[in-house]
Each structure stands twice: as structure tokens, then as C-alpha cells.
Amino acid sequence: MTVTSDPMDPAQPVFLVFERDALIAEDIIGSLRDLGPCETIHVSDAEEVPRHLDIDRRISAAFLEMRYEQVIALGLDRRLADHGARIILTIGEDDQKDATARGWGMLVRPFTDQMIRDALDDIASR
């Protein structure tokens, strides 16, 4: 399968990946691209996330290296919901109950390609 990243193609999902560790980010992005054509946005600083939400109109899912409380405190839960994004936390396993109650996903480290696919299962139905 040929992977493209055409931001002008509205049919392609857009994934935002906030991850400080470059190797982990590349693993997540590689897994997402293996699923098919998509656009990925990688940021390594939490302050960059809102800026991308101002630029990009649609986000299918956001993989966030943040604790539940941090997402709420920064208002990213509302901002990402406005973009139709599914939130998937990649740290803070203790937050899984709260995240699940909000309909968010949780990837417990170390995660696999299959775990990433499972976290995105409901995206196609949106």
C-alpha cells in the first residue's frame, strides 16, 4: 500500500501525536501510516497542540502524552471535541477509569500496533 499525506484530501484521517520521545512518536506515526493513507502531525511540546488546533480544522484522533488532569486543565478536551477528535492518552494508566468514562482511549506503555488499531476502532464510524 502506498502511503500519502495529502492535507488537501478531506477523506484522509488526520492524527495529532503529542509525544516528547522521538522514537515512540515514530512508532506511533508508523503504525498509523500502516493503517492507510493519513496525515500525521507530530508535536513534542504541549504548548504546540493548541496552535495546531487553530490551523487544522479536522482531527480524527489525538494521541497525547498527557495525564487526564493536564488535558482538562489546558481545555484540550473541549478543543479536541470541537474538531471531532478521539482523545487517546499514552501515559497515566491510573487515569484509565476517568478517561474511559469520557469516551477517551488509553494506550498503556509499552503499546503495540494492535493496541493502536484497537484504540481507533470507532473512528471509521464517525
The CA distance from 105 to 103, in Å, is 7
Q: Each residue's pLDDT tens digit in the chain (126 positions)?
A: 122 355 556 679 999 999 999 999 999 999 999 999 999 999 999 989 998 888 867 899 999 999 999 999 999 999 999 998 999 999 998 999 999 999 999 999 999 999 999 999 866 544
Q: Which pLDDT score, from 0 to 100, does residue 8 have?
A: 52
The CA distance from 13 to 11, in Å, is 6
CATH superfamily of 14-125: Response regulator (3.40.50.2300)
Nearest to 63 by CA among 19, 115, 110: 19
Nearest to 10 by CA among 58, 81, 55, 49: 58
Q: Which pLDDT score, from 0 to 100, does residue 48 have?
A: 92
Break the chain into its structural domains and give their ranges: 14-125
